[in-house]
């Protein structure tokens, strides 16, 4: 999962609908399958723990959107940063964070990545370049632009991947950030995860323009729309955007057309869409089923896939056990990590 292990050049191509005929290596296929399956199984168990009352506060699951985080992570290099909103568990795992620490943070335990003080929406892990997890809609966009300014100032060749959703795309600070990023040619890739319903209102009912990749046009920021349910389409678009930003050409916008299977959060019954609509996406566009078909075409047997499935189940089970047995933080932890100790 960590950035040290990227997809090989064999994963590159130009078609929007990838197949094994694009010289995709078997190793790449299995790598992406494993990473997306980990996110899916992790989130399913997180949902169960929330229902049992073991996770408090808000909990926004990433089920259905796995290809976005995994594909973009594959396009990054060491030192690049990731920052996102509150639907963040998938990004943490894709960045290489320990599933045990992520799950323990969800349950508010000292073994969590933020010592149990951040919870679902406020996890950080500087070692993997993950800068949160932010609960204020759209706030991470200006922070991600700030990360890009730091990269620009240091001339370190790194890129800030700044994620936000279709609901946040109408926030004012987004466009202030666009202007600054273009003015100074900051190395930032803005990734809009368009899962169509924001917090519960469809994009068509909330936005005067629905082609979100064009939102930077007035600032001269190029953008493109990507099939966010196809990990290889995401990866290839990520490479193009990263190269643009890394080469000193400034920001780039990627609109990922994706879909969340669950409600906005665990408390959302999602009655604003039909069961038939959700079932249709699961049947015809599921990102994991898509790559599983490719893997089978590459000659991987069902038994080999079962081995991977069992390995992932074991990883998630270990994370759950750790999250339930790790102690709660001592009350004195309320006074730590407030200021940076110099």
Per-residue pLDDT of 157-191, as tens digits, reads 999 999 999 999 999 999 999 999 999 999 999 99
User: Is 50 exceeded by the pLDDT of residue 121?
Assistant: yes
**CA–CA gap between residue 196 and residue 320 (Å, rounded):** 31
The HSE-up count of residue 211 (CA atoms within 13 Å, CB side) is: 7
User: Is 90 exceeded by the pLDDT of residue 15?
Assistant: no
Q: What is the pTM of this model?
A: 0.91
User: Is 60 exceeded by the pLDDT of residue 5?
Assistant: no
* CA distance to 13, 43, 45, 193, 319, per residue, from 51 (Å): 42, 12, 10, 26, 17
Mean pLDDT value of segment 16-22:
39
Asked if residues 293 and 18 have their Cβ atoms less than 8 Å apart, the reply is no
Q: Which residue has the tokens 């959060």?
A: 265
Q: End-to-end CA distance of the chain, in Å?
A: 32
State the burial class of residue 139 (Cβ atoms within 10 Å of its Cβ: 0-12, 13-18, 19+): middle
Question: Helix (H, G, I), strand (E, B), or coil: what is residue 255?
Answer: strand
Mean pLDDT value of segment 197-210:
95
pLDDT of amino acid 342: 77
User: Is 70 exceeded by the pLDDT of residue 231?
Assistant: yes
User: Is 90 exceeded by the pLDDT of residue 32?
Assistant: yes
pLDDT of amino acid 160: 98
User: Is 70 exceeded by the pLDDT of residue 12?
Assistant: no
Indicate the DSSP class of residue 324: H
* CA distance to 27, 151, 307, per residue, from 142 (Å): 37, 14, 43
How high does pLDDT run on average in the chain? Answer: 92
Chain-centre distance of CA 340, in angstroms?
Answer: 27
Mean pLDDT value of segment 98-104:
98
Strand extents, DSSP E, the chain? 81-83, 160-165, 188-194, 223-227, 252-257
Q: Nearest CA to 67 among 213, 188, 218, 235?
A: 235
Question: Helix (H, G, I), strand (E, B), or coil: what is residue 259?
Answer: coil
CA angle 268, 271, 273 (to 5 degrees): 115
Tokens describing residue 198: 């924001």
Chain-centre distance of CA 155, in angstroms?
Answer: 26
pLDDT of amino acid 76: 97
Mean pLDDT value of segment 83-91:
97
pLDDT of amino acid 340: 82
pLDDT of amino acid 23: 58
User: Is 60 exceeded by the pLDDT of residue 7?
Assistant: no
pLDDT of amino acid 246: 98
pLDDT of amino acid 75: 97
What digits encode the pLDDT tens for the residues 277-311?
Answer: 999 999 999 999 999 999 999 999 999 999 999 99
Report the range of poorest mean pLDDT among 11-25, 88-102, 272-286, 302-316.
11-25
Indicate the DSSP class of residue 190: E
The share of the chain scoring above pLDDT 70, in percent, equals 93
pLDDT of amino acid 17: 35
Question: Helix (H, G, I), strand (E, B), or coil: what is residue 182?
Answer: helix
Question: Helix (H, G, I), strand (E, B), or coil: what is residue 221?
Answer: coil
Long-range contacts from 309-313, C-beta under 8 angstroms, 24+ separation? 309/37, 311/34, 312/34, 312/37, 312/38, 312/41, 313/41
User: Is 70 exceeded by the pLDDT of residue 254?
Assistant: yes
Long-range contacts from 19-25, C-beta under 8 angstroms, 24+ separation? 19/294, 19/297, 20/294, 20/297, 20/298, 22/232, 24/232, 24/294, 24/298
User: Is 70 exceeded by the pLDDT of residue 13?
Assistant: no
pLDDT of amino acid 10: 31
**CA–CA gap between residue 133 and residue 52 (Å, rounded):** 23
* CA distance to 17, 24, 25, 254, 271, per residue, from 10 (Å): 15, 5, 6, 22, 42
User: Is 80 exceeded by the pLDDT of residue 1?
Assistant: no
**CA–CA gap between residue 196 and residue 181 (Å, rounded):** 26
User: Is 60 exceeded by the pLDDT of residue 68?
Assistant: yes
pLDDT of amino acid 154: 98
């Amino acid at each position: 999962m960590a950035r040290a292990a990227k997809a090989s050049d064999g994963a590159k191509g130009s078609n929007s609908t990838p197949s094994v005929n694009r010289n995709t290596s078997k190793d790449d296929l299995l790598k992406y399958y494993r990473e997306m399956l980990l996110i899916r199984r992790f989130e399913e168990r997180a949902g169960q723990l929330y229902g049992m009352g073991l996770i408090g506060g808000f909990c926004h699951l990433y089920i259905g959107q796995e290809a976005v985080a995994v594909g973009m992570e594959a396009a990054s290099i060491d030192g690049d940063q990731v920052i996102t909103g509150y639907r963040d568990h998938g990004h943490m795992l894709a960045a290489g964070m320990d599933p045990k620490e992520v799950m323990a943070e969800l349950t508010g335990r000292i073994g969590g990545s933020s010592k149990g003080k951040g919870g679902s929406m406020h996890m950080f892990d500087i070692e993997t370049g993950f800068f949160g997890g932010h609960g204020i809609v759209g706030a991470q966009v200006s922070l991600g632009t700030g990360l890009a300014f730091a990269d620009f100032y240091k001339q370190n060749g790194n890129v800030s991947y700044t994620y936000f959703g279709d609901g946040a795309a109408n926030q004012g600070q987004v466009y202030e950030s666009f202007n600054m990023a273009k003015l100074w040619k900051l190395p930032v890739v803005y990734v809009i995860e368009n899962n169509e319903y924001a917090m519960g209102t469809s994009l068509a009912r909330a936005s005067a323009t629905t082609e979100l990749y064009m939102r930077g046009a007035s600032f001269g920021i190029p953008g493109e729309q990507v099939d966010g349910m196809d990990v290889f389409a995401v990866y290839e678009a990520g490479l193009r955007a990263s190269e643009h930003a890394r080469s000193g050409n400034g920001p780039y916008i990627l609109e990922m057309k994706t879909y969340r299977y669950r409600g906005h959060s665990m408390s959302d019954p999602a009655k604003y869409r039909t069961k038939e609509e959700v079932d249709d996406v699961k049947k015809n566009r599921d990102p994991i089923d898509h790559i599983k078909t490719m893997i089978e075409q590459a000659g991987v047997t069902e038994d080999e896939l079962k081995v991977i499935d069992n390995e992932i189940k074991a990883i998630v089970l270990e994370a759950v056990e750790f999250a339930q047995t790790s102690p709660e933080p001592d009350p004195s932890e309320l006074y730590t990590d407030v200021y940076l100790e110099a």
